[in-house]
Structure 1
Amino acid sequence: MSLATVSDLSASRTAQQTGLRVVPDGSEARGFALYVGIDEEKARAAGIDLPALVDALRTLTAELVPDAETYAAVALAPAGLGGRDVDIVRRALADRAPAGTPAATVAKRRRTGLTLDLGRKKLRIDGETAPLTYREFELLQFLVLREGRTVSRVEIIDALWTDGEHEVPNERTIDVHVRRLRAKLGEYGEVVRTVRGGGYRFDRHADVVIRYGEGPSPDRF
C-alpha cells in the first residue's frame, strides 16, 4: 500500500469521525463553518456570555493559525421558540445541503418531525415509533398537556407516582427520567426544556405535531 493511499484512508477516517465531508476531486477547502448551539441563558449558567465566547474562539483560532480570517454571526430567533439550539442556528444562517450532495444522502438527513398521539399512547420520531417506557410516555404527556408552563419536579412526583406500588422518587431521580426521555427524543430533545430553579417545560416547535384524539382528556391526573 502506497503512502498516498494510507494518507487518503486516514483523511477519510478523520472526516467520518468528525462529521466533516471529504473534499471532492477538483475542489479545495477554503475554511469551515462551526455552528454553536447555545442560548444566552446557557452561556450565563456556564459563567460566560456570548460575545466573550466568540472572542475566545477567535483568539484560539489566531493562536493556532495566525493567518486565519474569522467571521462571526449571531443567530436570532423569536423568544421562546422551541427546538435544538444548533438547529435554530443552522436555519437562521440559511445552512443548506451543498451542491452536488447525493440525493440519497440528503434523503437520509431529512426529518419528518415528532408526532405524539396521546389517544393511542404512541410517539413517532421521523416516521419511526419511539421505544418509550410507560413512565417516559406519562412524563412526556404530563408536560405536553401543560405546554408552555414550567412544571416543578415536586409536581411531577405528586402526579406520576400516586399508585402506591412504586417507591416515590426524589427530585434528582426526576432529572434522570428526563435525561432518558430526552435521549430517546434524539434531535427533538429540546422540546423538554430545563427551567433553572423551576423545573421543566414543554416547548412545541414547527416539527412537532400533537394529536389529542377524541373523548376526554388523556390527562388522568
Structure 2
Amino acid sequence: MENHTEKILVVDDEASIRRILETRLSMIGYDVVTAENGEEALMIFRREYPSLVVLDVMMDKLDGYGVCQELRKESDIPIIMLTALGDVSDRITGLELGADDYVVKPFSPKELEARIRSVLRRTDKVSVNPGIPSSGVINIGFLKVDTNKKQVYKNNERVRLTGMEFSLLELLVSKAGEAFSRAAILQQVWGYTPERHVDTRVVDVHISRLRAKLEEDPGNPDLILTARGTGYLFQRIAEITIANAKVKEY
C-alpha cells in the first residue's frame, strides 16, 4: 500500500463504478468518499474538503458540468472528468469549464489511478525549475508570478489559477522565448508519455483559459504566443519589459 494522505471524492451515478473505485483507491492508500449525484457531490465537497474530485458527466439532479462550474466558483481543487467514449464535445466542454484532465469511459482503473497521481503530483509540486529565480518571484510587465506560493497577480490583483494552469504557466515562463510542442507540454505538465495517444486539445483549452485570465486582450495575446507549426511559447521576458517601458514613456 502506498502512503497517501489525500482524500478523493468520486462522483458517479453508477453504484458499480463508485464501488470499484472506492475499493481500488482505498487499497492504494487514498481516503475515498463518494456521491451518486451532483447535488450530493457539492454537499460532500463542502463537508469533507477533498484533495481531488473524480467527476462523471452524465448524472441526475445536477450533471458534471454544473458541478464543475460550482466548484470553480469557490475552489481550485483538481478535477478529473469521466467522459463518454468518442464524445469529443464532452471532453472539451469539461476542460473549458475548468477540469484539469479527463478519462474516457469505459476506462481502466489503472489509467485513472495514473491520472490521479499525475495531477496531484503537479498541483502539489514544489518548484525546482532552473529557469526560475531563487526568490521564486518573476515580474513580467503587469504580471507577478510567485512560484513558491503558486500565486499570480495581474495589475496587483490576485488571479485564481488551477494547479494545472499554474504548472503550465510555470513551464512556459521558466523557458520564456522557447517553443514547446503540445506533446512536450502534455508530457511535462500532465505526465503523458510520448507513446500514449491523447487529444492535444487538452493543451489548447488550458492555453485558452490562461490567456483569458492573464492577457489584456486574449484574442490578440502578447504573453502566451502560438508557435506556428509547433505549439506555444511565452514571450521573452526582456522583450515584455522593454515594451512595457515604452508604453510608460507616453
The alignment's TM-score, normalised by the length of structure 1, stands at 0.39
Structure with greater strand percent: 2
Of the two, which has the highest radius of gyration? Answer: 1
The alignment's TM-score, normalised by the length of structure 2, stands at 0.35
Higher relative contact order (CA 8 A, sep 6+): 1
